[in-house]
Amino acid sequence: MGADDSAVQRTGRSGFRPRVQDVLLTAAAVFAFTTLLLIASDAPPLQAYHQLFLGSLGSWAKFAQVVKVWIPLTLCACGLLFTFRIGLWNIGVEGQVMLGAVFSTWALRAGSDSPASGAVLIALSLSASALGGALWAAVAGFLKTKGGVNEIFAGLGLNFVAQGIVLWLIFGPWKQPGVASMSGTETFPTELWLSAPALLRIPPAALAIAAAALAASGLILHFTWIGLYLKAVGRNPAAAFLYGLKPARLMVLAMLFAGGFAGLAGNLQVTAVYHRLIPAISSNYGYLALLVVMLANYNIWLTAPVALFFACLNVGSIQLPMMLQLDSSLGGVIQGALVLATLGMHGWRQIKTAKTASRPSAPPF
């Protein structure tokens, strides 16, 4: 116990290794909380959990749905690993997804009259989306480093602006012929779809992009200068400056990575899922990815399974209203409760270790 505690205390956030007992305790607490909630809303808990399971892993078709959620979630999470590494709360990831979607829609629309093949156009739209997301993130990055605006407020504000841009485009310049509609822009011809083989139901290209993003993030963060520099600035910007690093530039760089990955997520929402721009194009995956990364304890290898679990909850809860007259937000409740419980457990551990280390922390009066 003693040696273990000091290890937790010494390594702090990133080195915090969840212990089996903590994980079990957290899971039990969340399970109990959710069950109470279900009982309070007159729903049979066991049946609800069963439906959650059936709805996500009950068939290949459902699982394919789950993977289609997992892909953008993982992309956003990869980007967030960069910003968390340098100590930034990139809550603007949501808007970065939207701008990625806007840029890819723009690229596809602009190219649809050209003789270029569908594959080329999709490749172009992927680049455009990464650029769009990165630009949007850079705005928050510069507001933070040059304007002294906290990145949380900058990101939140930019999210609203991004949503405004999406709605304006759908109801204005890019409206469907005839009448503008909440259902989004006109659907792209199928050659501009990132399509899936009938049996697989998952676009292989999208899956490959997510896998590549995971691998690239892992390599960059663990083996390159960028990873080392981001970590150094994240842990101690003042000291990092003394070692010759430029914290402000590195913060913008981390934002560019986050925005780029989020932009790709936005692209896949357009090319692989909806085949058009819709108002809710980001599907809150940005916000959800923040929870994923926190629950994965900022660890890239845990990110993929945690994202998968969240995707299961998301997809599985869709049919709750139909089957049990339960609101589908139950999935969100479980996700939120999990993150809060995990963070609470972590905080409690820290307070406990701080106390045993006998640090005086008595407040005045």
Partner 1 sequence: MQVELVDIRKHYGAVKANDGVSLTVAPGELHGILGENGAGKSTLMKILAGFTARTSGSVRVDGKPVDYRTTAEAVGHGVGMLYQDPLDFPQLAVLDNFILGQAGKIALERKAFKARFRELAESFHFRLDPETPVNRLTLGERQQVELLRLLALGTRLLILDEPTTGISAGQKEVLYAALRRLAVEGKSVLLVSHKLEDVEALCDRVTVLRLGRVTGAMERPFDTERLLEMMFGTPPPAPSRTAQPAGSAVLVMDRVSSPGGRSGLVDCSVAIRQGEVVGLAGLEGSGQEVFLRVAGGLKPPLSGSVKLSGRSMSGCDYHLFNKMGVYFVPAARLEEGLIPELTITEHMALQEERRSFRVPYPAAAENAARRIEAFRIKGRPQTPVEALSGGNQQRLLLSFLPPDPRLLLLENPTRGLDMESVNWVWRHLQSCARKGAGIVFSSPELDEILMVADRVLVFFNGRLIMDAAAAETDAARLASAIAGKA
Binding site for partner 1 (CB under 8 A): 10-12, 14-15, 223-225, 227-229, 231-232, 235-236, 238-246, 360, 362, 364-365
Alpha-carbon distance of 189 to 238, in angstroms, equals 53
Q: Which is nearer to partner 1, 221 or 326 (CB)?
A: 221
Q: Which is nearer to partner 1, 30 or 81 (CB)?
A: 81
Query: What is the closest distance, in whole angstroms, from the C-beta atom of residue 66 to partner 1 in the complex?
Result: 35
Alpha-carbon distance of 342 to 355, in angstroms, equals 20
Query: What is the closest distance, in whole angstroms, from the C-beta atom of residue 248 to partner 1 in the complex?
Result: 12
Q: Which is nearer to partner 1, 301 or 365 (CB)?
A: 365
User: What is the DSSP code string of 331-360?
Assistant: HHHHHHHHHHHHHHHHHHHHHHHHHHTT--
Query: What is the closest distance, in whole angstroms, from the C-beta atom of residue 243 to partner 1 in the complex?
Result: 5
Q: Which is nearer to partner 1, 3 or 20 (CB)?
A: 3
* Residue 295 one-letter amino acid: L
Q: Provide the angle, in degrees to the nearest 10, between the axes of the packed helices 300-316 and 330-356.
A: 140
CA pseudo-torsion sign 162, 165, 169, 170: positive
* Cβ-based neighbours of 236, under 8 Å, separated by 6 or more: none
Q: Which is nearer to partner 1, 147 or 244 (CB)?
A: 244
Q: Which is nearer to partner 1, 171 or 241 (CB)?
A: 241
Query: What is the closest distance, in whole angstroms, from the C-beta atom of residue 270 to partner 1 in the complex?
Result: 31
Query: What is the closest distance, in whole angstroms, from the C-beta atom of residue 145 to partner 1 in the complex?
Result: 15
Question: Running DSSP on this structure, what letter comes out for residue 28?
Answer: H
Alpha-carbon distance of 106 to 98, in angstroms, equals 12
Asked if residue 26 lies in contact with residue 294, where contact means CB atoms within 8 angstroms, the answer is no
Query: What is the closest distance, in whole angstroms, from the C-beta atom of residue 67 to partner 1 in the complex?
Result: 31
